[in-house]
Amino acid sequence: MDRESASTDAKQARAIPVTVIPGDGVGPEIVRSATRIIDAAGVPIAWEEALAGAEVFRRGDSSGVPHETRDSIERTRVVLKGPLETPVGFGEKSANVTLRKLFETYANVRPARELPGVPTRYSGEGIDMIIVRENLEDLYAGIEHLETPDVAQGLKIITRKGSEKIIRYAFELARREGRSKVTCATKANIMKLTEGMFKHVFEEMAPEYPEIQAEHLIIDNVAHQMVKNPTQFDVIVTTNLNGDIISDLASGLVGGLGFASSGNYGDGIAIFEAVHGSAPKYAGKDVINPTALILSSVMMLRYLGQSAAADAIEQAVLVTLEEGRAVTQDLARQTGGDVEHAASTTGFTDQVIANLGRQPASVPVSVRVSDASVERRPEWTYGPERYAGIARELVGVDVMIESDLSAEALGDELSGMGGDALRLAMLESRGTKVYPPSGLTVDSVRWYRGRFVAAEGRALTEADLVGLLGRISERHRWTEVLRLQSFDGEPGFTKAQGE
């Protein structure tokens, strides 16, 4: 073996393995940009290229993530990925969501900060916030049912454990990066048990971080405040869907999706990607702005402990933006610049590589987002002992029923079906009480919820529920049954509007 190939072999042996997924649409172009820059910065990475997304769906793999890709990620535990197309329609799940779930990357971290050379309505104000989005639960659990041919229902799942993990993550991140405030953003005023649980956990944990200001804002107000006065935000922690929406909003404040980076962190595993999708209309044209993925790869290098290279690449991107010699189409369009002669993806990448080693003049500090390798592991308190001590009582049952009857006619019929154990407390339609009649006129969608509660002084048994369902099914089509329980005397269910 000659000396040169021996030294190449030695380098390969030291190289950090990373799974790289080129992805769909513009994915391969932006991934090539990021990997070229990382290679040029001299970081020894052994890229393991793997497939996921549209091509995999087309081959008939309905998960969009083949086994070879899963195996590679199991080995490397770090992924740099391009966007993956999500087929619209029934049957197939998003390969992005599948990846996040498979590897339990529960924390989606999306920084948004003012960038030099990227003028916005807020330029000069110094926007610098990090959105920490819960990444596995909420409506993204993807549990949906057609209750009738024309009534669709999706389940919003929020758990105490999932909330605790992400809220702990947000506070730890704030502490590590010397940030002063964490805002919890929920819709707890409407969704009292789901979003409410997230808010409660936040309030329970906040005192553990006395040096950090903790506040709660309703998510719609967060959207309003972000547009009105975005610099008030530092770290925002929120549930999955809220976080999806406000993180796009946040990227819009600082120049758009072309600049929005993200990391998905789990326990000992992380997936880095741009916030944006596959932007199919730009695919293969060498015009897309690769900054979002380059900055995501900077987050990856910090995660891998390659801080010097991460700083060098981040500084080179900032110099490139600041000097404006290579302005990508999206930025030229935003600033009324020369779109026709804008920099190509390759041209921008070349410029970043040329700027490695230089410092930006206008931005003093690098934002050290998410070196999650120093994450404090939370100590879970979810053993059986926690649950053994909580008293539960069966206090009733909700039965969903498809029916062409009016609320009054259905209510009258159901009233006689409770037997001696249960009585019909109310009937509601889409969350509003319609029986006993309250004078409200509610547009029928042929789907009702009958709430049956235990008759006075009666302890309910399973047989009572089964008996009720038997009687209802003789005359009506029931679609779903939910037990009504109390936990330590507190009702584990919400009331209908007007109940």
Could you say whether residue 257 binds ligand NAP (CB under 6 A)? yes
Q: For the chain, how are helix, strand and coil distributed in percent, rounded to 5?
A: 40, 25, 40
Nearest to 420 by CA among 474, 471, 476: 471
Q: Which helix (H) or strand (E) element contains residue 57?
A: helix 54-58
CB-CB contact of 46 with 38 (8 Å): no
Could you say whether residue 263 binds ligand NAP (CB under 6 A)? no
CB of residue 417 to ligand NAP, shortest distance in Å? 46
Could you say whether residue 403 binds ligand NAP (CB under 6 A)? no
- Is 350 one of the annotated active-site residues of the chain? no
Query: Exposed, middle or buried, 455 (CB in 10 Å: 0-12/13-18/19+)?
Result: middle
Selecting among 244, 350, 398, 464, the annotated active-site residue is: 244
Conformational region of residue 218, where left means phi above 0, alpha means psi within -120 to 50, and beta covers everything else: beta
CB-CB contact of 248 with 257 (8 Å): yes
CB of residue 191 to ligand NAP, shortest distance in Å? 25
DSSP 8-state class, residue 497: B
Q: Point out the residue whose Cβ comes nearest to ligand NAP.
A: 277
CB-CB contact of 80 with 50 (8 Å): no
Total binding residues for ligand NAP by CB under 6 A? 18
Q: Which is nearer to ligand NAP, 292 or 369 (CB)?
A: 292
Q: Which is nearer to ligand NAP, 84 or 484 (CB)?
A: 84
CB of residue 294 to ligand NAP, shortest distance in Å? 10
Selecting among 81, 165, 187, 433, the annotated active-site residue is: 187
Which is it for the CA torsion 334, 339, 341, 343, positive or negative? Answer: positive
Could you say whether residue 244 binds ligand NAP (CB under 6 A)? no
Nearest to 240 by CA among 92, 141, 314: 141
CB of residue 97 to ligand NAP, shortest distance in Å? 9
CB-CB contact of 80 with 28 (8 Å): no
Could you say whether residue 22 binds ligand NAP (CB under 6 A)? no
- Is 248 one of the annotated active-site residues of the chain? no
Q: Which is nearer to ligand NAP, 64 or 116 (CB)?
A: 64
Q: Which helix (H) or strand (E) element contains residue 134?
A: strand 128-134
Which positions from 160 to 199 touch ligand NAP by CB under 6 A, shown as an x/- string? ----------------------------------------
For 420-442, letters b (16+ CB in 10 Å) and e give ebbbbbbbbbeeebbbeeeeeeb
- Is 220 one of the annotated active-site residues of the chain? yes
Which positions from 265 to 304 touch ligand NAP by CB under 6 A, shown as an x/- string? --------x--xxxxxx------xx--x------------
- Show contacts with ligand NAP in window 308-347 (CB under 6 A): 330
Q: Which is nearer to ligand NAP, 258 or 418 (CB)?
A: 258
Selecting among 106, 140, 265, 435, the annotated active-site residue is: 140
- Is 138 one of the annotated active-site residues of the chain? no
CB of residue 140 to ligand NAP, shortest distance in Å? 12
Nearest to 310 by CA among 21, 46, 42, 129: 42
Residue numbers annotated as active site = 140, 187, 220, 244
- Applying CB under 6 A, the residues found at the interface with ligand NAP are 83-86, 96, 257-258, 273, 276-281, 288-289, 292, 330
